[in-house]
Structure 1
Amino acid sequence: CIMDKPPSSSPIISSPILPLTIIPLQPSTLTISVSTPLERLQNNEKPEKLYKKEKQILLEFDLIVKDIRYQLNEQLKCLEQRLETQLSIVSDIQDYFKRRAEVELDYAKNLDNLYKQTYQRHKAQKARRETWVLHSVYKLWDNIVQDTRTHVKYHTVMSDICGKYMSDKFNEIADDTRRMFGKCKSVGQASHDEIFKVLNELQSTMKTYHQYQSESKQAEQKLRQIQQQMTKLKSVKKQKSMEKRVEKRQMKYTETKVKAFKARNDYLLTIESVNAALTKYCTDDVPDLIDVKKI
């Protein structure tokens, strides 16, 4: 249907920043003034002023599109920055476990040397220590020595875990992080392409709309001129001759007016499509980009 009073508001797209590295588009509707030149002409606005307003509308639309493109590009940059940060953290953890493996291995070697030295000394002094077994404190000494041997095995295994297993595990985590980034970027780019597609459609319908509005305005002006000329004629014969011209002008005006109305409706529908695409992106896609577990 054709709206009698088209919506008129300034196009405002704000860009709040979420704390989770994604800069979202605000899911507010894209609104552009679609009042026709004829409607404003009926309000006694001068043609020069109308032209400036039409030009301003197109300029505002370009600014909106540039702002949307900027925000979408910034979001992809945020994804890349998040990947770099995550990989940096994973790399730091890997470095920690690598050093931990070296420390555990050195500690195991030192404990093993301590155990061997203690055992060799006890063996060398066996004759002097024959009576040690008669004392209860000997059991404490023996438990300490055997416990040292157990700790040698424990820290050797711990060194292997930190050096090999943890390194392989965090390599897997890094690969998974890159894979999730690839999926996030793919989802983001697909959504961006859809938004750019409807924006291009909107730009096309806007140009068509303004073209037909201009033609309709010119046809109306010519119709009014010939109607004014007809009212000044006093001869009936000339009036009848002029009626044919008026009829042709009327048909031309009606034709251009219908085209203008159709273009206007297409324009409004395309604005709704753009708003729907932006809303879907903000409510569905952006949360998925933030919470990669859903992807």
Structure 2
Amino acid sequence: MSPRTYQTEQLVRLQASGQSDLEILEDLRDFTKARAKLEIDYANQLSKLAQQSLGRRRWHDPRNNQTNEHISSQLVYKTILEKADSIAGMHLKAGERLNASVSEEIKAKCQHKKVHLKKCAESHSRFQDRFHQRARDLDHLRKLYSDQERITQYQLEKWDKQKDGLSKGKKSFKTITKSKDEIKERVRKQGQKVEECQQRADKARNDYLLGVVAMNAQHKYYTEKTLPDYLSHVNEDHHAQIKGYMEVYAATHREVAQAEVDFTEDISASAAKIDKEFEESCLLGDSLFQDLFEVHFEPFGKDEVRDIDNGPMHEVENTALMQRYVNNAQKARNTVEKKKKAIASTASMQQFQSANIGDSDAAATQSIEEVVANERAEMIEAEWEVIRNEARIARLESVGVPVPESAAEEHLTATEGDAHSLASWRGSSGVSLNASQAPPGDATGSINSMDADFDDHAVAQPPTAAPPRPSARPVSNAFAPTLLAQYAYDATADDELTITEGEGLCEEFPDDEGWTCVRNSQGLVGLVPTSYLASISNSSSSPEPAATCIPQVTIDAGPVAIAQYDHEGTGDPNELLFEEGDRITVTQFDEDDDGFWMGSCNGRTGVFPSLLVELEE
């Protein structure tokens, strides 16, 4: 069963549960209304109605819907119908009371329940759409991984044939006029191409593995936290109101005749056992919600690697990934805290409105409910983002990728006392792959296979391929603001910038996931939320904004390199992106022999892997 099919079946089951509650409520109203009429006409038709109502529904097994402490509302309703057959001697007062206190109130409740179920279904459908998008992303990563492995195997077979032909002295008709040195050079270049393909295949495998881990982590959190919260939000006070309706029903009979005291006490006692948590536990106790769904890594072809490769060739890349996921997790935690405060503030506003205005302003009440629903959805998405990134961090750390010390301290502070902290994922990060780990001495790039001198060098030298995002620092460029701060923002991380409302800012470059790098009038550079900014061209405070904050710099012509492959980057703003065939002017070669050069292409300047290009002769 695919993740999307699994989630769709859960959504259908949840919608059926909400519809069942609504049907029970409507049945209870119909029964009470008819019962009031029968009380006026006396009890001659009461037995017939009860039997009809009993046969109208398919009842659940009572053994699965009651305990010594709790019982479902459906079974309580069934008990009422069974007891109603023995009741007689009703009069007009009892019928009028039932009409006024139960029937009409249930009618209003049913209308509200229908609207509420529709809103909840739409909200949960958005969650399903986002989950399906993650599943499609995982399928895409798996396809990239399989394509790269296929290319690598093809290039490797081609290289083996060339080496075999060279060793046996054979020449094809294409190389009959070429010297042996030229043939050796072709073999050497083919070997380099094989090595480059292997590196891309390793990166695709790592991305696929991390996607699998993130998918499993998100689904586990969805099952354990998001789904129960959603079910609680759907039910609202439904069971409490049903309990009240049934208690009114029992009280009416108690006033009519003392002979019915025993019956009314039974109904009242049963209604008191109705419990919201019990009803939810009965539904969630189904195997569909109990069995945890996990995505497993599926190796392609002859690939024997079952874990993330953290060998010397991938240390820089993995360290950059670790920093990226740590930053994303911290941003998501900040978003969760902000959304919690916003929801609490909106709830206080709603309570104040209810106490002072009442329900007369229905439009304002609906607007507040929509704001709360949107804030809650964004908070849940941020919580999922935290879980996904923490799972990736734990997986990278388990293969030896170090967590930045400052980030580790912030993480321990943010997740202290949280059941879904990073420590909880370390014990289960390897289970989701459902495959044995690579042996310590295997040629998969294990750090343990390298000598101590190389390890010391790797630790001592900072990674230069994927430098961290720029922290707040002075910049000497001329200040020409193009953005206006709509709200004040206090920085919560080293790479963020504190701004004040109405402050003019200069855009450096846009970052991913809703952040923009800006520079203030003091020359400090840092990240701020994009939603806090507005273009000066759209503001009345500045008629003609500058076209850009970054002055044009003329770079002297240098060596030119031709891109042999596309470079899409890892999301770092300092990387230079290009496509196969682009001409790149190299401005600085790697001084530390880290495999990265500095260059410019298409008006942009940044670092890029030297393995992806060839210098033009």
Question: What is the TM-score normalised by the length of structure 2?
Answer: 0.27
* Preserved contact between residue 155 and residue 193 of structure 2 (Cα < 8 Å): yes
* Preserved contact between residue 212 and residue 263 of structure 1 (Cα < 8 Å): yes
Provide the C-alpha distance between the structure 1 equivalents of 2:127 and 2:222, rounded to a whole number of angstroms: 7
Letter in 2 for 1:168: E
Aligned to 1:76: 11
Structure 1 residues 71, 241: CA separation in 2 closer, same or farther (over 3 Å shift)?
closer
* Preserved contact between residue 212 and residue 260 of structure 1 (Cα < 8 Å): yes
Aligned to 1:19: none
Runs of 4+ in 1 over 6 A off after TM superposition: none
| Larger CA Rg, structure 1 vs 2 | 1
* Preserved contact between residue 104 and residue 159 of structure 1 (Cα < 8 Å): yes
Letter in 1 for 2:210: L
Provide the C-alpha distance between the structure 1 equivalents of 2:157 and 2:34, rounded to a whole number of angstroms: 85
Aligned to 2:218: 277
How far 1:69 sits from its partner (Å)?
A: 2.9
* Preserved contact between residue 4 and residue 135 of structure 2 (Cα < 8 Å): no
Give yes or no for the alignment of 1:190 onto 2:126. yes
* Preserved contact between residue 155 and residue 194 of structure 2 (Cα < 8 Å): yes
Letter in 2 for 1:182: K
Letter in 2 for 1:288: D
Give SS of 1:164's match: helix
Residues 180-219 of structure 1, C-alpha deviation per residue, up to 9 Å, x if partnerless? 4234423432222122111111111111111111111111
Give yes or no for the alignment of 1:227 onto 2:163. yes
Aligned pairs for 1:228-247 within 5 A: 228-233=164-169, 238-247=179-188
Give SS of 1:166's match: helix
How far 1:89 sits from its partner (Å)?
A: 1.8
After superposing the two structures, state which structure 1 stretch, 225-234 or 161-170, moved more: 225-234
From 47, 63, 87, the counterpart of 2:22: 87
Provide the C-alpha distance between the structure 1 equivalents of 2:112 and 2:229, rounded to a whole number of angstroms: 16
Aligned to 1:114: none
- Aligned residues with identical type, % of pairs: 26
Letter in 1 for 2:109: I
* Preserved contact between residue 205 and residue 263 of structure 1 (Cα < 8 Å): yes
Structure 1 residues 220, 262: CA separation in 2 closer, same or farther (over 3 Å shift)?
same
Provide the C-alpha distance between the structure 2 equivalents of 1:267 and 1:84, rounded to a whole number of angstroms: 39
In the alignment, structure 2 segments of 5+ residues that lack a partner are 43-90, 171-177, 237-372, 374-617
In the alignment, structure 1 segments of 5+ residues that lack a partner are 1-63, 108-154
How far 1:224 sits from its partner (Å)?
A: 1.4
Give yes or no for the alignment of 1:163 onto 2:99. yes
Aligned pairs for 1:1-295 within 5 A: 64-65=1-2, 68-106=3-41, 156-233=92-169, 238-291=179-232, 292-293=234-235
After superposing the two structures, state which structure 1 stretch, 156-165 or 261-270, moved more: 156-165
Give SS of 2:11's match: helix
Letter in 1 for 2:99: G
Provide the C-alpha distance between the structure 2 equivalents of 1:233 and 1:201, rounded to a whole number of angstroms: 48
Task: Compare the two structures and name the one with the higher strand fraction.
Answer: 2
Q: Which has the higher contact order (CA 8 A, sep 6+)?
A: 1
Residues 212-257 of structure 1, C-alpha deviation per residue, up to 9 Å, x if partnerless? 11111111111111122222349xx944222211122012212211
Letter in 2 for 1:278: H
Residues 104-149 of structure 1, C-alpha deviation per residue, up to 9 Å, x if partnerless? 4456xxxxxxxxxxxxxxxxxxxxxxxxxxxxxxxxxxxxxxxxxx
The CA RMSD measured in Å over matched residues stands at 2.8
Letter in 1 for 2:7: L
After superposing the two structures, state which structure 1 stretch, 156-165 or 208-217, moved more: 156-165
How far 1:77 sits from its partner (Å)?
A: 2.2
After superposing the two structures, state which structure 1 stretch, 167-176 or 97-106, moved more: 97-106
How far 1:94 sits from its partner (Å)?
A: 1.4
Letter in 2 for 1:231: S
Residues 61-82 of structure 1, C-alpha deviation per residue, up to 9 Å, x if partnerless? xxx42xx333322222223322
* Preserved contact between residue 191 and residue 285 of structure 1 (Cα < 8 Å): no
How far 1:156 sits from its partner (Å)?
A: 4.8
Give SS of 2:21's match: helix
Structure 1 residues 256, 284: CA separation in 2 closer, same or farther (over 3 Å shift)?
same
Residues 31-78 of structure 1, C-alpha deviation per residue, up to 9 Å, x if partnerless? xxxxxxxxxxxxxxxxxxxxxxxxxxxxxxxxx42xx33332222222
* Preserved contact between residue 187 and residue 285 of structure 1 (Cα < 8 Å): no
Give SS of 2:190's match: helix
Task: Compare the two structures and name the one with the higher helix fraction.
Answer: 1
* Preserved contact between residue 134 and residue 215 of structure 2 (Cα < 8 Å): yes
Provide the C-alpha distance between the structure 2 equivalents of 1:241 and 1:74, rounded to a whole number of angstroms: 62
Letter in 1 for 2:215: V
How far 1:87 sits from its partner (Å)?
A: 2.5
* Preserved contact between residue 98 and residue 162 of structure 1 (Cα < 8 Å): yes
Letter in 2 for 1:94: R
Provide the C-alpha distance between the structure 1 equivalents of 2:210 and 2:20, rounded to a whole number of angstroms: 42
Provide the C-alpha distance between the structure 2 equivalents of 1:94 and 1:173, rounded to a whole number of angstroms: 10
Question: What is the TM-score normalised by the length of structure 1?
Answer: 0.54
